Amino acid sequence: MSAAEVTQTDAGAPERVRRARPSFLASELKLVFGRRRNQLALVLLAGPPLLIAIAVKARAGHPDRQGPDFFNSITQNGLFVALAALTIEMGLLLPLATSLVAGDSVAGEAHGGTLRYLLTVPVARTRLLVVKLAAVVVYIFAGTFIIVIVGMAAGLALFGGGHMITLSGSTLGTGTGIARVLLAAAYVGVCLSSLGVVGLFFSTLTEQPLAAMLVTIVFSTVSFILDTIPQVDWLHPYLITHQWAAFADLFRDPIDLTNIGHGLYLAVAYGVVAFLAARARFAAKDVTS
């Protein structure tokens, strides 16, 4: 949201109406989704599902060149394209897109010289921070659902639907399969939102958005790396990325919610702690920044 828009909206409003109105969120969403780099990131997120679908289709007639069993499932049901793309992208591209928008949320305003105006407008800083966080979360969910929607569309177009074989060996109808894929996207969106809150916190610590972006992506990358080291397995349950792949349990019969519940708990815990830290930092932010 620009300083001018905030000033025009609330600068002269009575105290009882000086609050984060829906128009504030709409303005912030317009700013986030209007940036060319954020639009480009969404386009890039849509690329891997198409590449996976085309690559598997091109190799489908060559049994001696079949890929891993997980990708072989794509030829049985196109919905697996979305799951394959989601698995691949949550390792780098999704955290990168999250870091891009979260790291820029506050630091971008400071770097552009508009933060001083935002902080002098008579709007509660916590509410202003909540609006920025809401825009980050909406962007994260948009990116996640773009992946699965493009993946499902490309997969169903090239390979068709029909019954979906679960990890337990049972089958799901097309409608149920689509519903579970969308649930998987929602779960990944929640997990990534916790990283978005962490990025928001880092964004309140600096006036350089690139620095906040880099620290956020390094944070998630280090978590991924530590999660693969057996010698620190005691740390694994506490890492932010530890249960991101637990969405696979949605494709068991019956659904196993143990790891998913742990993943949601981690997301909420990281999100709450990071937001409280961001609010404390933002509340003390110098208006001359």
Tens digit of each residue's pLDDT (9 = 90 or more) over 226-237: 999 999 999 999
- Predicted confidence band of residue 108 (pLDDT cuts 50, 70, 90): confident
Task: Name the residue among 121, 95, 98, 92 with its Cα closest to residue 109.
Answer: 121
Tens digit of each residue's pLDDT (9 = 90 or more) over 236-286: 999 999 999 999 999 988 899 999 999 999 999 999 999 999 999 988 766
Count the domains in the chain. 1
In a domain, 270, yes or no: yes
In a domain, 42, yes or no: yes
Supply the range of the domain harboring residue 105.
3-283
In a domain, 170, yes or no: yes
| DSSP letter string, 65-127 | G---HHHHGGGT-TTHHHHHHHHHHTTTHHHHHHHHHHHHTTHHHHHHT-HHHHHHSSS-HHH
Residue 123 has pLDDT above 70, yes or no: no
In a domain, 288, yes or no: no
Measure the CA–CA gap between 139 and 111, rounded to whole angstroms.
21
Task: Name the residue among 166, 102, 106, 109 with its Cα closest to residue 138.
Answer: 102
Mean pLDDT (the chain) is 85
